[in-house]
């Protein structure tokens, strides 16, 4: 299965969708040429993954567990936050529209 590729940052592409969770990871690697043992330097990689789908933080904890397994910092919106409440309302509206279509309305 192929995924969609977006050519903008998620922040730009999904301006109207609130970030509901993030996973922040930090990795440091000492690189060297294997054949000669010559040091190539230290590479630092910081990554922030943003999650916009409410199901990511409500239906199971797979994304949170993966983040923690990578020694990342998981942050999710509080259930009483405006972002969470709006995402829950939007999901409920989609479910109602889906049910209405199924009933032919």
Q: Tell me, what's the pLDDT at 22? A: 94
With a threshold of 0.85, does the pTM exceed it?
no
Q: Is residue 78 part of a domain?
A: yes
Question: Using 50, 70 and 90 to split pLDDT, how confident is the model at 2?
Answer: low
Q: Is residue 88 part of a domain?
A: yes
Whether pLDDT at 24 is above 60: yes
**DSSP state, residue 81:** S
Report the number of distinct structural domains present in the chain.
1
Q: Is residue 8 part of a domain?
A: no
Q: Is residue 22 part of a domain?
A: yes
- The CA distance from 18 to 21, in Å, is 9
Range of the domain at 55: 13-102
Q: Is residue 4 part of a domain?
A: no
- The CA distance from 48 to 46, in Å, is 7
């Amino acid at each position: 299965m192929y995924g969609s590729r977006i050519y903008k940052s998620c922040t730009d592409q999904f301006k109207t969708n609130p970030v509901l969770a993030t996973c922040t990871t930090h990795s440091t690697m000492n690189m060297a040429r294997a054949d000669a043992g010559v040091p190539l330097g230290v590479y630092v990689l910081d990554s922030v993954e943003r999650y916009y789908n409410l199901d990511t933080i409500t239906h199971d904890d797979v994304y949170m567990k993966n983040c923690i397994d990578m020694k990342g910092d998981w942050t999710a919106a509080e259930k009483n936050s405006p972002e969470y409440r709006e995402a829950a309302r939007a999901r409920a509206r989609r479910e109602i529209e889906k049910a209405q279509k199924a009933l032919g309305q």
